Amino acid sequence: MGKDKLRKFKENDTFTCLIQPRTDEVLGKDHPLKGHWGEKVFGNDRPIVVELGCGKGEYTIDLALRNPGCNYIGVDIKGARLWKGAKYATEHSLRNVAFLRTRIEFIESLFAPEEVSEIWITFADPQIGREKKRLTSPLFLSRYRNFLKKGGIVHLKTDSRYLHEYTRAIAEQNGLEILACTSDLYGRNSGTSTESFFEKKDKALQPSAPGQTSRSGILTPSVSGLPSSESYRQLLASPLASVCGRDAIDALFQVQTFYETQYLSQGIPITYFAFLIDHEGPYVSPDWDPDKWER
């Protein structure tokens, strides 16, 4: 293991916003924070939004900056990646951000029924040929249902058409309510910057940088016009807009992960799918043609 990773792991232990359960604390048992995130971590009862596979945490942090009325938890198993987001949240005193280092398979041990309002799945491994490991499979949907509020939303943003179409098929197979769906979020001419979230924020924090003060008191960079793509117009007219509001639609285009900026720079379309998992009984695998979408 490299010295830089060891340094990050050591510093991770100093971040109060980063929770790192041991395996014996979550394997087959409930963690002490289960059902108490609002009280013990955030000190309030605001809605909790969880991002699964958050990587460096840029999406979690940006959403938290935009929505100080909600609490955000980024989940990932890679400590060296989480270090980036946890360090940023610590240095900028972001009180509505936390990070959780654990395997997503243990998620039920960490959240109680009705404790989470929304789930974001951003650029997850499509797990081609391994359905049980896929984050929108019947197995994982059953896990999410055990802690997601009734009417809670699952958002999937991905470069994988395979994962997008699989998730759409499983929603249709199980009669789940679809709020929004697009196979090309930005359209061909997005004009999207490939600069990373942290680079943008660092520039915005410079006194001379153009920008505006967010409700959290941290400078955020000025945002150029949103794309006039057909997908943008469709999302504004979708049920998602009536549930979440126009600001949430705008955030879909303005908030990007590190990997998303890389895919966009390569001309790879970004897909988006939002649905509710309210459903009685077991979830059923979809009847679809995986070979059509594998790449």
pTM: 0.87
- CB-hemisphere CA count at 13 Å for 66? 18
Q: Which of 45, 125, 202, 247 is catalytic?
A: 125
CATH number at residue 14: 3.40.50.150
Show pLDDT as tens, one digit a residue, over the chain (295 residues).
677 888 999 999 999 999 999 999 999 999 999 999 999 999 999 999 999 999 999 999 999 999 999 999 999 999 999 999 999 999 999 999 999 999 999 999 999 999 999 999 999 999 999 999 999 999 999 999 999 999 999 999 999 999 999 999 999 999 999 999 999 998 864 444 444 445 555 544 443 333 333 333 333 333 344 555 788 889 999 999 989 888 889 889 888 888 898 898 899 999 999 999 998 899 999 988 888 886 5
Residue 252 lies inside a defined structural domain of this protein? no
Quote the CA–CA distance of 160 and 140 in Å, as a whole number.
18
Q: Is residue 181 domain-resident?
A: yes
Task: Quote the tokens at residue 97.
Answer: 């951000």
Number of domains observed in the structure of the chain? 1
* Residue 276 CB coordination number (10 Å): 18
Phi and psi torsions of 76, nearest 5°: -160, 160
Identity (one letter) of the amino acid at 48?
A: I
Contact 177, 275 (CB under 8 A): yes
The pLDDT of residue 190 is 45
Binning the chain into helix, strand and coil, the percentages to the nearest 5 are: 40, 20, 45
Closest CA to 50 of 1, 141, 138, 115: 115
Residue (of 176, 41, 182, 161) closest to 111 by Cα position = 41
Neighbours of 26 (CB within 10 A): 19
Q: Is residue 232 part of a domain?
A: no
Domain that holds residue 53: 3-189+268-292
Q: How far apart are CA 67 and CA 47, in angstroms?
A: 11
> Which secondary-structure segment (H or E) carries 15?
none
Do the Cβ atoms of 149 and 45 come closer than 8 Å?
Answer: no
Distance CA 141, CA 199 (A): 35
φ/ψ (deg, to 5) at 99: -130, 145
Q: What is the pLDDT of residue 230?
A: 83
Q: How far is CA 173 from CA 106, 158, 169, 290, in A?
A: 26, 21, 6, 15
Please indicate, yes or no, if residue 230 is contained in any of the structural domains. no
Which ranges in 54-154 belong to alpha helices (H)? 58-66, 79-91, 138-145
Report pLDDT for 143.
97
Residue 254 lies in a domain: no
Say what the pLDDT of residue 1 is.
61
Residue 58 lies in a domain: yes
125: annotated active-site residue: yes
Which has the closest alpha carbon to 170: 159, 48, 181?
A: 181
Question: What's the rounded Cα separation, in Å, for the pair 108 and 218?
Answer: 34
